Structure 1
Amino acid sequence: MVVVDTSTFDGTANREEDMFHEIAKVISLTVQGPHVFLIAVPLRHITKDDLTVIEQLSKIFGPDALKYSICVFTHLDCLHQKDMEIDQLLLNSRKILLDLIKCCDGRYIAVANTAAIDEKEATVANLLTLIKSMVNENGEHPNTSKICELVKAAITTLSDERVGRFQTAELDNDGGVHLLPEVQQIIQSFFCTATVPVSGLQIPTKGISEIERILTIIYLDITDSSILIPELIEYTKTFDDPLLCIACITSIRNKNIFFVTSGLFYEYVIPLIHGLPQIVSIYIFEDDRQKEATVRMDKNYFKLSNIFHHKDLLLSKLWKDVLLTIFSVQGDTITNIDTSHTDFFTKVFIGSETIDKLTMKTLSKQQVKFIFFQLLIDAVLRTPTVRTTNNCYAKMLEIYRSQYLKDEREMQIINEFESNYSSEMAIQWYEKNQFLRQSLNIALRTENMSDILHFRYFIADIHRQLVERCLPDCRPFTVYGVEMMQMGELKNIQKNIGEVALIKTFFSGTMSNQTALNAVSTNIDPLYEFVLFEIVIDCTSDTASFSSIQTLGYKENCDILFSPGSIFRIESVAQIPTRRIWHVKLSFTDRQLSKVKGLLERIRNEFPHPLTLMTLGNFFCKVGESDEAMRYYKTLLGVYEFDDDAIEIINYNIGLIYEHKGDYEVALQQYQTGLNRAIQSSSSNEAYTQQQIVDSILKPPLMNSASPAILYFNLGCVSFHKLDYDRALENFEKAYDCLPDDNTIKKVDILNNIGCVYYKRSDFRKARHYFEKAFDRALKILPAENSLITCYLKNISAAVNSASVNN
């Protein structure tokens, strides 16, 4: 166990440097994150400053720090002298004490400073029990904050410069803590404000070697050379001519540019450079006469840091932003990205430059997941319309109810949905109900297959409304939206600039970046980052995946709504240090996306019929992922548990997977289960709309409906493989009798398979008879060059030759 003792965090320190030193000490000695914060409060003297500790703790270690906090009341012996117990004190206490305990979720313990040893040991044991319980509640994970992550990135960067094990702090013989200067610098630069100048900051050796690759500082029309940063002078460019300056900026493609200008040219230069991905921060240095004009600029350009009238404040902010960028970018290069994460907002298609050459057999696992999600959404969007809520929305509402059981308002909304919902009002319900919107998008974002399928009717209803409201004339325009994303996902997008990505959820945006940025709060989860998406739309087709909903009177910050699965090209990814957010620029154009659409079309064409929910698992079978196909169909069984027609088709598809694996016994059981349900069932609307797809997963012959004929045919195939020729012949004959039309290729193939049974029985005369019947009928249906004609001829030849040898 590591215990770190600190001085006060109550804001009463004489100098901010002392505060920075204490913060640096705590983070240095617990860089992986503390598991518990013990807040010591003397009972003999409780003041408002004790509540300030709570505020400082949340500011430094993030809003979740209080989930890791316990109040430790000291000097309990003072109460004993007055015959008052701690619980009695709490009942009669002032609001300050109760607020402290409330902030710590009711966790507290009292310590008597002059107690006997055995009493102190008992108190310690109780404290450890309380700590253990809290740690278990937090999943044994330590508290994580942005500053800890930043220090860890810097430590990894610096570790190569130290001999032996790298430490952030060193202890002397007296127990004092000697902090490494680099760590103090990071802490100070992170917490300093624009009103506190920062001087004498140093960048680690490795950091300096990386700067040339990471960033450039460009000054335009800055006559005061003292505004330049001496330590970064070799990575700095200065200009007097705005045209030369703009030419230089546009020539720098893969760096982060910090742009500093006077008030003389900002009106002309900033509109030209603000949209460039390499520009991450803009600083204006000017006098008071130009202040009013620049304030107006601040509302339109989100990369504009501030208007500075004192050079020390400008240098302080610029230093801080530069340091954050250096360690942030270095952290990106050293961290492995877990792309198997499903809780991502996006899916990236890696390898778009060779997309024209890709086939089903050459797809990578990552590409398979991308394409499957697209096919899934396509199938969901084709779910049939229903005019009443009936049972089609029951499972969706059940999921919704389970999340808000104790919320009477939400229960009332669910009841209203059941009574009044219609598919023509889907967008209205989506937009006006935040919790319904969240439940739906969480299912999509986490790829919870069962929940997605339960939401399928609602998803399809929203999409159909977007199609009906499709923009008739899609001129180029830009949409802005804000989302929270994990750092791992951001890094994955950043390292795949130029590739295409899809957004898994419904995504809403606005035409105004300022309106979008209003959604950014200061209370940020330490494990997530706020991301401003800028989407440039310039297309003449396929606009059905999004539409304007502004005229319907929905919330002000939602002008455009995108359907899930919308595909974009990744143009740029950069951190905007001035706002502590990330900026991701995407594009939505016909030219850039045509290759991806072409690949999807080629894959769909490899199946005889369009893929739907009932048979989407066949895609996994085609790419050699039979376990994924099985998992998908098992999920479908739970979703369609009361739909006999659907269960028939699903069991049939599961049987085919077992048959392809060579497990004929289990395949036979699945086919028989499907056949029993088929005989007993009445047709369902959705199964009827999906049944045509069954053909694409059958062995030849392909059939166009999920009828008993299909099941008998495949039962015959399984029996044939198991050498049970009597059962095989029986099932083929039943399949033949179930088809009324003689002039179909289906009956031709059944005749061929009956011939195969007689061939295996060595009854070559009957085998030849059925092969010839199949051949004669095929000639009336198929062109002579068809490959099946050749197959039937070979079978006739085999029967004749075998009969000759046998004689």
Structure 2
Amino acid sequence: MGASHKKPSQDDSNLEIYSLICLDPSFHNNEETVKAQQQLRVSINYLKIFENCYQCEEYIRSVSSYNRFILIINDELARQIVPRIEQLRQVYSIYIHCLDKITNQQWAKQYLKIKCLSDQLDMLVTRIQSDHRINDLFPVVIYNTNELNFHFLYSHLLFDCLLRMNSNNKNKFISLCKNEYKNNENELNIIHEFEENYSANQSLSWYTRKSFIYRILNKALLTQNIDLLFTLRFFIQDIYQQIEQKKCLYPIRVYHSHLMTYEEIQLIENSLGQFISINSFLSACLDRGLALFHLYEPNDLQRVLFEIDADLQLNDMNHFGYIKLVNYCEETEQIFFMLGSIFRIENICLNDDEIWIIQMKLCTENDCQLKSIFNILRNEYHYGQDSNLLSFGEFLIKQGYLNEAEKYYLRLID
């Protein structure tokens, strides 16, 4: 979760948020490391191997801060590079493959992002897989809507266009995925299953499965990648229709839990009483205890519980649905909020169990503080009207983003 002050990025080669980086000259030289790579790519597909610190650091610094790197480094090179990169936002966690664990623990303990040191590569692999499941943060982008800004207008116009455009079939997306995961047998099997069995009424089940389509969609939403989002619009529209069919017609309080950095908590604190727009699908449950049960005890992240009050009778734009999902592993009942849902932050506090409680209320565009913004969207850019399909391109041109406008217009005639 975080505020963005950059224009949407289109330049990342990895379609997912998380990547693996191995800084170890020996990592592709023997059977053990090849096996480790195969096991790791079950959880994290994208993998790059470096043999020297300079090239590794240069690559990390060159990539958008939206990305998150999980590093495996041998102890000799770790001593050189960790002090220089540990504070970078892109560096999510570090695992050190070492011969002498006790000696290395002395210098490593000062770096919070170092999660594990081991002389056993298979143990590091197991730990990475476990940590990645626990720390799979829901990628939420916050925009302060008290001020009229490019990012807020951009995201709401884009989402409106995605829902109003003619749907596309899944074939282009499947071809893209087969190429992206061409050396990942596990993910290719799931892609084949999706190709053969997917139907519109299964969209939320596939989303909550957290396989390739979940990871790719969340990266595309985080970076607002026009090309990828337009390729995925069939899936976004299917989720929208599924939520519409199960709209919740009575006031509810729901709960959403996840892990955040302290800096992200501060961002929320600084937005108290203001509005945030969440640029992703947000899932929540009716059972507070169940939401708390899914909060793990991380070393360097904060545990957060969102308490959300929502009433569709008062709401004319932020749809949410009560969905009973029968997915690949369990039956669950969840509330899903649509892309771009806007909330007011009512309160934030740290309770006795050291869990941050953030109280939010789902808002309507007729709220006195939001009304002027949505009047601009409707009057200048035809928000909520079919003509908005052209207006979004005009908006990009006015903002000076000619390349993005060209891509958008090409998508309209595709």
TM-score band, normalised by shorter chain? 0.5 to 0.7
Task: Describe the superposition over 1:513-547 as per-residue Cα deviations: whole angstroms up to 9, x where unpaired.
Answer: 221122222345x4x54432211113414376210
Report the Cα distance in structure 2 between the residues aligned to 1:570 and 1:594, rounded to whole angstroms.
Answer: 16
1:22-171 correspondence runs (5 A)? 41=100, 61-62=111-112, 64-66=114-116, 100-102=119-121
Structure 2: which 5+ runs fail to align? Answer: 1-82, 88-93, 126-138
Q: Is the 8 A contact 2:325 2:332 kept in 1?
A: no
Asked whether 1:606 is paired with 2:365, we answer no
Q: Which residue of 2 aligns with 1:618?
A: 394
Report the Cα distance in structure 2 between the residues aligned to 1:513 and 1:636, rounded to whole angstroms.
Answer: 42
Asked whether 1:468 is paired with 2:250, we answer no
Asked whether 1:380 is paired with 2:162, we answer yes
Query: Deviation of residue 450 (structure 1)?
Result: 2.3
Give the secondary structure class of the aligned counterpart of 2:306: strand
**Structure in which a larger fraction of residues adopt strand:** 2
- Over 3 Å counting, the alpha-carbon distance change for 1:428 and 1:589 in structure 2 is same
Query: Deviation of residue 501 (structure 1)?
Result: 0.8
Q: Is the 8 A contact 1:404 1:411 kept in 2?
A: yes
- Over 3 Å counting, the alpha-carbon distance change for 1:591 and 1:383 in structure 2 is closer
Ranked by relative contact order (alpha carbons within 8 Å, sequence separation 6 or more), the top structure is 2
Q: Is the 8 A contact 1:345 1:485 kept in 2?
A: no
Q: Which residue of 1 aligns with 2:235?
A: 458
Q: Is the 8 A contact 1:569 1:593 kept in 2?
A: no
Asked whether 1:548 is paired with 2:322, we answer yes
Report the Cα distance in structure 2 between the residues aligned to 1:485 and 1:634, rounded to whole angstroms.
Answer: 36
1:229-244 correspondence runs (5 A)? none
Paired residue type of 1:410: E
Q: Is the 8 A contact 1:575 1:582 kept in 2?
A: yes
Q: Which residue of 2 aligns with 1:538?
A: 311
Paired residue type of 1:619: F
Paired residue type of 1:538: D
Paired residue type of 2:114: D
Task: Describe the superposition over 1:755-774 as per-residue Cα deviations: whole angstroms up to 9, x where unpaired.
Answer: xxxxxxxxxxxxxxxxxxxx
Q: Is the 8 A contact 1:350 1:496 kept in 2?
A: no
Report the Cα distance in structure 2 between the residues aligned to 1:557 and 1:575, rounded to whole angstroms.
Answer: 29
Report the Cα distance in structure 2 between the residues aligned to 1:613 and 1:591, rounded to whole angstroms.
Answer: 21
Paired residue type of 2:356: W
- Over 3 Å counting, the alpha-carbon distance change for 1:403 and 1:517 in structure 2 is farther
Asked whether 1:520 is paired with 2:304, we answer no
1:8-407 correspondence runs (5 A)? 41=100, 61-62=111-112, 64-66=114-116, 100-102=119-121, 345-351=141-147, 363=148, 367-385=149-167, 392-407=169-184
Q: Is the 8 A contact 1:430 1:437 kept in 2?
A: yes
Report the Cα distance in structure 1 between the residues aligned to 2:290 and 2:107, rounded to whole angstroms.
Answer: 31
- Over 3 Å counting, the alpha-carbon distance change for 1:416 and 1:434 in structure 2 is closer
Report the Cα distance in structure 1 between the residues aligned to 2:150 and 2:107, rounded to whole angstroms.
Answer: 45
Q: Is the 8 A contact 1:569 1:592 kept in 2?
A: no
- Over 3 Å counting, the alpha-carbon distance change for 1:510 and 1:431 in structure 2 is same
TM-score normalised to structure 2 length: 0.62
Report the Cα distance in structure 2 between the residues aligned to 1:545 and 1:58, rounded to whole angstroms.
Answer: 47
- Over 3 Å counting, the alpha-carbon distance change for 1:398 and 1:62 in structure 2 is farther
Q: Is the 8 A contact 2:320 2:336 kept in 1?
A: yes
Query: How many residues matched?
Result: 309
Report the Cα distance in structure 2 between the residues aligned to 1:633 and 1:420, rounded to whole angstroms.
Answer: 35
Report the Cα distance in structure 2 between the residues aligned to 1:437 and 1:40, rounded to whole angstroms.
Answer: 38
Q: Is the 8 A contact 1:567 1:593 kept in 2?
A: no
Report the Cα distance in structure 2 between the residues aligned to 1:36 and 1:421, rounded to whole angstroms.
Answer: 37
Query: Deviation of residue 616 (structure 1)?
Result: 0.7
Q: Is the 8 A contact 1:533 1:583 kept in 2?
A: yes
Give the secondary structure class of the aligned counterpart of 2:119: helix
Paired residue type of 1:64: I
Q: Which residue of 2 aligns with 1:490?
A: 265
Q: Is the 8 A contact 2:178 2:188 kept in 1?
A: yes
Give the secondary structure class of the aligned counterpart of 1:429: helix
Report the Cα distance in structure 2 between the residues aligned to 1:102 and 1:395, rounded to whole angstroms.
Answer: 38
Percent identity, aligned pairs only, is: 25
Query: Deviation of residue 585 (structure 1)?
Result: 1.6
- Over 3 Å counting, the alpha-carbon distance change for 1:532 and 1:397 in structure 2 is farther
Give the secondary structure class of the aligned counterpart of 1:450: helix
Q: Which residue of 2 aligns with 1:307?
A: none
Report the Cα distance in structure 1 between the residues aligned to 2:237 and 2:368, rounded to whole angstroms.
Answer: 24
Paired residue type of 2:281: F
Q: Is the 8 A contact 1:507 1:562 kept in 2?
A: yes
Query: Deviation of residue 31 (structure 1)?
Result: 12
Structure 1: which 5+ runs fail to align? Answer: 1-29, 42-49, 70-98, 107-342, 352-362, 387-391, 648-807
Give the secondary structure class of the aligned counterpart of 1:508: strand
**Structure in which a larger fraction of residues adopt helix:** 1
TM-score normalised to structure 1 length: 0.34
Paired residue type of 1:450: D
Q: Is the 8 A contact 1:539 1:589 kept in 2?
A: no
Task: Describe the superposition over 1:597-642 as per-residue Cα deviations: whole angstroms up to 9, x where unpaired.
Answer: 5531443223576444454121244xx41x22x13223336x73xx
Q: Which residue of 2 aligns with 1:735?
A: none
Query: Relative to structure 2, which stretch is displaced further, 608-617 or 558-567?
Result: 608-617
- Over 3 Å counting, the alpha-carbon distance change for 1:480 and 1:399 in structure 2 is farther
Asked whether 1:442 is paired with 2:219, we answer yes
Paired residue type of 1:373: S
Give the secondary structure class of the aligned counterpart of 2:277: strand
Report the Cα distance in structure 1 between the residues aligned to 2:209 and 2:242, rounded to whole angstroms.
Answer: 16
